[in-house]
C-alpha cells in the first residue's frame, strides 16, 4: 500500500515530467520552425527591395553619368519629335491640353530623366541658374534645314489656318512686308539660292544669314535662330560643357544609342519609336536641287555649314567612324570632295 501510494506519487511525478518535457520539446521545435521561416524569408525580402533600388549600371556605359542636360531644339530638324519624348519638352508646351497629352504619352527614359531644360528660338535659358553639364543638339545639314524652312512658310503649303504658310499667304497681300518681297523674288527654293538681281540678292542674304529682327519677321525665326545663334547662347557661354548630338537623318537610331550610352535601356516604346512629330512638314518634301543650285546653297550657308561640322566633330556620344563619315557626307552633299575644295570654290564664286 505504502509502496502503492509511493509508487502512485512517483508515477504522477514522472507523468508530469513527461508531459512537461513533451511540451518543452514541442515549444522549442515550434520556436525553431518559426526562427527558420523568419530567417529564410527575411533576407529574400531585403534582396528584392535593394535590387529594385539599384541605380542603373553606369559603369558599363561611362563614368560621368551624373548629367544635367539642356535640349537645344534647332528648328526644322526633327526637334518636335524629340520634344515629345522629354519631360522638359512636354512642360515647355504652352497650350495646357497639348502639355497634358504630351505628359500622358511620355515614355520613361534615362534621357528624359537627365534633360532638365528646353531651349528653342529666342527663349534663351538662364544658364547660371540651370548649371547644365551638357547640351543636346538635334542637327541636320544646313541646306536641308533651310529648304525645310522655305517649304514650311511657303504660301502654297497653306492648309490650316494659323500655320506659318497661311500667315505668309496673308502677308503676301501686303506689299510692305518682308514675306511679300521674299516670295516676289523667290517663288521657288532654287531661285532663293540663285538670286538674279541685286535687290533679290540682298533679300536672299537676309534669310541665309538670319540677319533680320525676329520681332519684325517672325516667319523667318528659324533662319534667324540658326546654328550660330544656338551655339552663341550655349557653348560660347559655357565652353567646358559637353556636347551631345542626334542627327535628323538617323533620329531614332541616335536617340536609342544615346539613351543606352547614358545608362538607359534605349527603349521608348513601340507606339513612339520611329514616329515623327511635325508642324505639317510631312505633307511636302524638300525639293531636290541640281548640282549648280546645291553648290550655290552650300556657299550661301557656308558659315552655318562649319558650325554644323564642328558640332558633329565635338559630339561626345558619336564614335569617330560616324563623325568622319558625317564630315565627308556634309561636303559630298554639296558636290565637293573636301572642305578645302568647297571653301576654295565658294570664295571663287563670291569674288566672281
Q: Which residues bind ligand NAG (CB under 6 A)?
A: 57, 59-60, 190, 194, 228-229, 232, 290, 292-293
Q: What's the sign of the alpha-carbon dihedral 196, 199, 203, 208?
A: positive
Contact in structure between 63 and 52 (CB atoms under 8 Å): no
- Write down the least CB distance from residue 232 to ligand NAG, Å: 4
Q: Of 6 and 236, which CB lies nearer to ligand NAG in the complex structure?
A: 236
**Least separation in angstroms between CB 196 and ligand NAG:** 10
Can you tell me the distance from the alpha carbon of 254 to that of 260, in angstroms, rounded to the nearest whole number? 10
Q: 211 or 338, CB closer to ligand NAG?
A: 211
The minimum distance between CB 194 and ligand NAG, in angstroms, equals 6
Beta-bridge partner residues of 55: none
CB distance 204 to 223 below 8 Å = no
Instruction: Tell the smallest beta-carbon distance from residue 76 to ligand NAG (Å).
Output: 16
CA distance readout (Å), 188 to 133, 152, 192, 209: 42, 13, 7, 19
Residue among 194 and 311 whose Cβ is closer to ligand NAG: 194
Q: Which is nearer to ligand NAG, 138 or 234 (CB)?
A: 234
Contact assessment for residue 60 and residue 262, using Cβ atoms and an 8 Å cutoff: no
Please, which residue, 74 or 90, has the CB nearer to ligand NAG?
74
The DSSP call for residue 56 is P
- Minimum distance of ligand NAG from residue 58's CB (angstroms): 8
Strand partners, 73: 120
Minimal distance, residue 138 CB to ligand NAG, in Å: 18
Helix axes 339-351, 291-300, angle to 10 degrees: 90
| CB of 250 or CB of 310, closer to ligand NAG | 310
Are the CB atoms for 298 and 194 separated by under 8 Å? no
Amino acid at each position: 500500500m505504502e509502496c502503492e501510494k509511493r509508487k502512485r506519487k512517483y508515477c504522477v511525478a514522472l507523468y508530469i515530467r513527461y508531459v512537461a518535457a513533451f511540451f518543452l520539446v514541442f515549444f522549442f521545435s515550434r520556436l525553431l520552425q518559426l526562427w527558420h521561416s523568419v530567417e529564410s524569408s527575411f533576407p529574400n525580402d531585403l534582396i528584392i527591395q535593394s535590387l529594385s533600388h539599384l541605380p542603373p549600371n553606369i559603369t558599363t556605359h561611362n563614368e560621368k553619368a551624373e548629367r544635367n542636360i539642356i535640349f537645344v531644339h534647332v528648328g526644322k530638324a526633327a526637334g518636335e519629335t524629340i520634344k515629345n519624348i522629354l519631360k522638359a519638352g512636354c512642360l515647355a508646351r504652352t497650350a495646357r491640353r497639348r502639355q497634358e497629352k504630351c505628359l500622358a504619352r511620355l515614355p520613361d527614359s534615362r534621357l528624359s530623366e537627365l534633360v532638365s531644360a528646353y531651349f528653342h528660338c529666342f527663349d534663351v535659358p538662364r544658364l547660371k541658374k540651370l548649371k547644365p553639364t551638357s547640351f543636346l543638339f538635334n542637327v541636320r545639314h544646313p541646306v536641308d534645314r533651310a529648304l525645310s524652312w522655305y517649304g514650311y512658310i511657303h504660301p502654297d503649303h497653306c492648309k490650316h489656318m494659323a500655320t506659318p504658310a497661311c500667315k505668309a499667304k496673308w502677308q503676301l497681300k501686303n506689299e510692305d512686308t518682308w514675306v511679300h518681297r521674299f516670295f516676289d523674288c523667290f517663288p521657288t527654293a532654287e531661285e532663293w539660292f540663285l538670286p538674279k538681281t541685286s535687290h533679290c540678292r540682298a533679300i536672299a542674304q537676309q534669310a541665309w544669314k538670319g540677319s533680320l529682327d525676329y520681332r519684325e519677321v517672325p516667319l523667318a525665326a528659324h533662319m534667324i535662330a540658326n546654328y550660330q545663334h544656338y551655339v552663341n547662347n550655349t557653348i560660347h557661354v559655357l565652353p567646358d560643357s559637353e556636347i551631345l548630338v542626334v542627327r535628323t537623318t538617323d533620329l531614332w537610331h541616335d536617340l536609342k544609342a544615346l539613351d543606352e550610352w547614358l545608362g538607359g535601356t534605349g527603349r521608348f516604346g513601340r507606339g513612339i519609336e520611329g514616329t515623327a512629330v511635325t508642324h505639317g512638314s510631312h505633307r511636302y518634301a524638300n525639293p531636290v536641287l541640281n548640282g549648280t543650285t546645291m553648290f550655290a546653297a552650300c556657299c550661301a550657308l557656308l558659315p552655318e555649314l562649319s558650325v554644323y561640322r564642328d558640332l558633329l566633330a565635338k559630339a561626345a556620344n558619336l564614335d569617330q567612324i560616324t563623325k568622319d563619315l558625317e564630315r565627308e557626307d556634309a561636303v559630298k552633299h554639296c558636290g565637293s570632295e573636301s572642305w578645302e575644295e568647297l571653301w576654295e570654290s565658294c570664295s571663287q564664286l563670291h569674288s566672281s
